[in-house]
Structure 1
Amino acid sequence: MRCGAPRRRIRRRRRQSGTQPRPAAAAAEPACAVAGAAGGSPPALRRRRDHHRRYERALARRGCRRRAGETAVTTIHVGGAAPYDVVVGRGLLSALPALLAGVARVAVVSSKTQPDLAARVADNVRGAGVDVLPITVPDGEAAKQVKVAARCWNALAAEGFTRTDAVVGVGGGAVTDLAGWVASCWLRGVRVVQVPTTLLGMVDAAIGGKTGVNIAAGKNLIGAFHPPAGVLCDLDLLATLPPRDFVAGLAEVVKAGFIADPAILDLIEREPAAAADPRSTVVAELVKRAVGVKADAVSQDLREAGPREMLNYGHTLAHAIERHERYRWRHGDAVAVGMVFAASLGRRSGRLDDSTAARHRAVLQLVGLPTGYDAGAWPSLLDSMRLDKKARGHRLRFVVLDGLARPGILDDPDDGLLEAAYQEVCT
C-alpha cells in the first residue's frame, strides 16, 4: 500500500531592498491563528489577518533583507484545518513577537542548558509589551515526562494563565514536544509557537503538531495533535550545537530524501563536508527541502491516518532502540539505524532494489551516522516494537520503500523476515 508521495508546495519570499513580502492569500489562515481553530467569526478572522500582517512587517524590518552571501528567508506553508507558516532563515528571533499579537502573557519553556538563548527570547517578547513567565525544564528526553509537564501546568496556574495567553517552546525536539503538549492540555488548548534550536527540531519535531511525553512502556505513547501557531527556524542557532547533535539531526534530513525528495540525497553525496557545516548554504537548502517534505505530508494528513505515516520511516526500530538504551541514544542516531533496517526489510520482502537499499548505508555513513546495532538486543527490540503506534492489534506495520521516494506499508511481516532483516544491521 502506497503512503503517497507529497507534492512540494514551498513558497519562498526573498526580500530584495525596497520590495515588501507578498501578503498571504485571503483564503488562508494566517500563521498566527490560534492552533486548532478551523474557522471563527469575521472579527476573529480580521484579528488573525492583522496579526499576520504585523508578522510580515516584523520580518521585513528584521530583514529579512538579504545581503550578498546570506541565506534567503523562506516561508513554507503548512495547510489543513489549522494552517500556519514555518519560516527558515537567519536572525529571525526578533520577529517572534509578531506571532504573539494580542497575547498578554507568554510562558517561555526552555532547556536548562540554554539560559542565554532563553533570556534573548524573553527580552524580545518583553520588548513588545508582553509579560514573560520563564519555565526551565531538563535537557533532552528527560524533559518528556508527565511530572515535568505537571510542573509546567502548576506554573501556569500560579500565574493565572488564560486561553488568550500562549506558550513558546525554545529548544530541541524534546523541549518542543513537551511545550506543545503543555499548551494542548492547558485549558484544553492554548496557542503555542515553536522556536527549535536543533536541526532535528527544525526539520521534524517542531513541525506538524505532534506533541507528547514518554512513559516506561515506550516513547511518545502519551500526547496529542496540537498544531503550532507558527515555527521560527533560525539557522544561526545551529552553529551553537555540539557537532554530534548536529550530525544526529541529519538523519531526519536523509529520511526526507529517501521518502520524498531525492535531491536531498544528491546534494549530500555531492557536498558531504558542506552538509555537515551548520553555517553553509548547503545546510540551509537541506533544511528548506526537509521542512517542505514534512509540511506537505502534514498538510494532507494531520492525524497520521494516511500519507503522514511515511514520516515514520525508520522510526519503528528507532523508538525500540531508544527505549532499550533508556533514551541515552540520540533520536537521530536511532533513526539512522532504523532506516538501514527498513531498507533491508524492503529489500528482503521483494519491494526495494538492492542499489537503493545499499545507498541508505552509504549516505548515512557519509555524514557520520551509525548504521548498526547490538545483535543480542533483538528479543527486547521486537517486544518494544509491538507497542508501536502504527501497529494494528497484534500486527506490526512498517514503512518501507517500493523505490526511491515511493513509501508504502509492509503489514504484518513474519518474525523470521524481521529477524533476518535485523541481522543485516547487527554490529
Structure 2
Amino acid sequence: MPELHVELAARRYPIHIESGLLRRRIAALAQAPERMLIVTDDNVGPLYADALKQAIGRPDCPVWRMPAGEAEKTLARFGELLEHMAERGLTRDARVLALGGGVIGDLAGFAAACYMRGIAFVQIPTTLLAMVDSSVGGKTAVDLPAGKNLVGAFHQPQAVYIDPDVLATLPEREFRAGLAEVLKYGAIADARFFGWLEDNAEALLARDAAELEGAILLSCRHKADIVARDETEQGDRALLNFGHTFGHALEVLLDYGTLLHGEAVAIGMQLAADFSVELGHADIGDSQRLRALLNRFGLPTALPTGLGADAVVAKMRLDKKAAAGRLRLILWRGVGKAFIAGDVDAGALTAFLAAQSAGN
C-alpha cells in the first residue's frame, strides 16, 4: 500500500492510498478508544457511511449528514454541526471522520478545529479533487457571501485515507473537475509530470486503476512536500493557488451554482497563463499547451460570459492571497515554473480581463 507522510515541525501524519481500503478493516481507527462521529453529505453517506462503519469496526458509529454542494459550506451549517457534536456529548478525546469531498473535509475539519478548542479529525476523501488537494495540508474553512474560505483555521488531520475505488461512483463531470487539481502540480512545479499527463490523458479519463493511483500518489507527494516546507502558507505553499484567485472570484460571482471548483480553477489557470504571456513572463506556446490539455480533460478555459472585469478584480482583492491591499497572483514562466507575483497592477489585470470577456 503506497503510504506517504506529511512531515511537520511538531509531528507527522500518514497518507494511506489503497484500492479497496473501505472494504477492509482500518486497524488504526478500529483499535482507537475515542468516540467518533462520521460527517458526510446526502450524496456520499448512502454510498459509503456503512462501509466506513464496518472498516472501523463500529456499526453504531453516529453519522451527521448535510446537503451536498459548495453552497452548503456556510457558517449556518458549521453551527449546526457544532450543536450536533455538543448534543452527542463529544468530549475532547473524540474524533471526527470527514467522509466526502472538499466541502465536507473543509467544514468538518473547521468544526474539529473549533470544538473544545480543537479535537482530532481524519480525512477520508471521496472525490478526486479532495484526494489530491483539499484532504492534505490542514486548510479548513467555510465560505461567506463576500468570498470563499474566508473563515477558517489551519488544523492538520491525524491521517488521510484514500481509496481510489470510490471514484467509480463519482459523476463524470466531478471526476474531470478533479483532474484540474492533478494537472496543477505539473503546471506549477513538475514539467515531467505535465508531460506524463499529456501522454496518459485518455487512460486517466477511462479511470484506469493503475494510472489513476499513480497520478494520485504523485499529486499527494507534491502536496505533502510543499506543506512540509510551508505549513501556514507564508511562502512556497502559495504556489498551490495557481488559478485559484481567479477561480474563487468566479465561483463567488456565480453564486457557486454554475461552475464546480475544479472547473473554476481550470479557467483560472488558463487566465493566469495567458496573463503571464501578456506580461512577458511566458511563451504563448506553454499557454497553448495548457489549454490543449485542459480541453482534453473536458474542462472549460474561457472566462464565463456576463462577468465584468471590474467585478472580477474586486472579488480578487478580497481573496486571502491578497496582501496589504495589493493583488498577489500565482503566475508562471512556462510549464513547471510557477512563481509568486507580489504586486500585480490592477489596471493591467482589469484591461486583460476586459479583453478576455470581449473575446468570448
Q: TM-score, normalised by structure 1?
A: 0.79
Q: Secondary structure at the match of 1:132?
A: coil
The residue number in structure 2 matching 1:342 is: 272
The residue number in structure 2 matching 1:208 is: 137
Q: TM-score, normalised by structure 2?
A: 0.94
Deviations, residues 312-370 of structure 1 (Å, cap 9, x unaligned)? 00000100000011011100000000001110121222211222122111110111100
1:417 to 348, 351, 355: 348
Deviations, residues 88-123 of structure 1 (Å, cap 9, x unaligned)? 120112343514643331100011112131121123
Deviations, residues 103-151 of structure 1 (Å, cap 9, x unaligned)? 33110001111213112112322x2x58522100111213311111111
CA 254–421 in structure 1, closer or farther in 2 if over 3 Å, else same: farther
Residue type of the partner of 1:79?
A: E
* Residue ranges of structure 2 left out of the alignment (5+ in a row): none
Does 1:323 pair with 2:226?
no
Q: State the shift of 1:411 in Å.
A: 2.3
Aligned length: 353
Does 1:293 pair with 2:229?
no
Q: Distance in 1 between matches of 2:342 and 2:248?
A: 18
Does 1:105 pair with 2:35?
yes
Q: Distance in 2 between matches of 1:417 and 1:100?
A: 56
The residue number in structure 2 matching 1:193 is: 122
2:2 to 58, 65, 74: 74
Q: State the shift of 1:286 in Å.
A: 1.1
- Asked whether the equivalents of residues 303 and 356 of structure 2 are also in contact (C-alpha less than 8 Å), the reply is no
CA 268–181 in structure 1, closer or farther in 2 if over 3 Å, else same: same
Q: Distance in 2 between matches of 1:98 and 1:143?
A: 31
Q: State the shift of 1:266 in Å.
A: 1.4
Residue type of the partner of 1:112?
A: D
Deviations, residues 231-271 of structure 1 (Å, cap 9, x unaligned)? 01100001111101100000001111111222332122112
- Asked whether the equivalents of residues 6 and 225 of structure 2 are also in contact (C-alpha less than 8 Å), the reply is yes
Q: Distance in 1 between matches of 2:32 and 2:164?
A: 27
- Asked whether the equivalents of residues 310 and 350 of structure 2 are also in contact (C-alpha less than 8 Å), the reply is no
Q: State the shift of 1:78 in Å.
A: 0.7
Q: State the shift of 1:382 in Å.
A: 1.1
Higher mean alpha-carbon deviation, 95-104 vs 157-166, is at: 95-104
Higher mean alpha-carbon deviation, 275-284 vs 156-165, is at: 275-284
Residue type of the partner of 1:147?
A: A
Q: Secondary structure at the match of 1:412?
A: strand
Q: Distance in 2 between matches of 1:240 and 1:279?
A: 14
1:389 to 317, 320, 324: 320
Q: Distance in 1 between matches of 2:135 and 2:322?
A: 24
The residue number in structure 1 matching 2:113 is: 184
The residue number in structure 2 matching 1:120 is: 51
Does 1:155 pair with 2:84?
yes
- Asked whether the equivalents of residues 121 and 158 of structure 2 are also in contact (C-alpha less than 8 Å), the reply is yes
Q: Distance in 1 between matches of 2:59 and 2:94?
A: 10
Does 1:236 pair with 2:169?
no
The residue number in structure 2 matching 1:58 is: none
Higher mean alpha-carbon deviation, 317-326 vs 273-282, is at: 273-282
- Asked whether the equivalents of residues 340 and 361 of structure 1 are also in contact (C-alpha less than 8 Å), the reply is yes
Q: Secondary structure at the match of 2:61?
A: strand
Q: Distance in 1 between matches of 2:298 and 2:96?
A: 35
RMSD: 1.6
CA 99–262 in structure 1, closer or farther in 2 if over 3 Å, else same: farther
Q: State the shift of 1:393 in Å.
A: 2.0
Q: Secondary structure at the match of 2:62?
A: strand
Q: Calculate percent identity across the aligned residue pairs.
A: 39
- Asked whether the equivalents of residues 143 and 178 of structure 1 are also in contact (C-alpha less than 8 Å), the reply is no
Does 1:408 pair with 2:312?
no
Residue type of the partner of 1:389?
A: K
Q: Secondary structure at the match of 1:391?
A: coil
Q: Secondary structure at the match of 2:64?
A: strand
The residue number in structure 1 matching 2:147 is: 218
Q: Distance in 2 between matches of 1:404 and 1:337?
A: 16
Q: Distance in 2 between matches of 1:101 and 1:261?
A: 39
Deviations, residues 405-424 of structure 1 (Å, cap 9, x unaligned)? 22211122223321343334
- Asked whether the equivalents of residues 108 and 133 of structure 1 are also in contact (C-alpha less than 8 Å), the reply is yes
- Asked whether the equivalents of residues 50 and 59 of structure 2 are also in contact (C-alpha less than 8 Å), the reply is no
CA 409–227 in structure 1, closer or farther in 2 if over 3 Å, else same: same
Q: Distance in 1 between matches of 2:37 and 2:71?
A: 20
Does 1:363 pair with 2:279?
no
Q: State the shift of 1:223 in Å.
A: 0.3
- Asked whether the equivalents of residues 108 and 135 of structure 1 are also in contact (C-alpha less than 8 Å), the reply is yes
CA 100–140 in structure 1, closer or farther in 2 if over 3 Å, else same: farther
Deviations, residues 62-94 of structure 1 (Å, cap 9, x unaligned)? xxxxxxxxxxx2111111133211111201123
Does 1:399 pair with 2:330?
yes
Higher mean alpha-carbon deviation, 394-403 vs 204-213, is at: 394-403
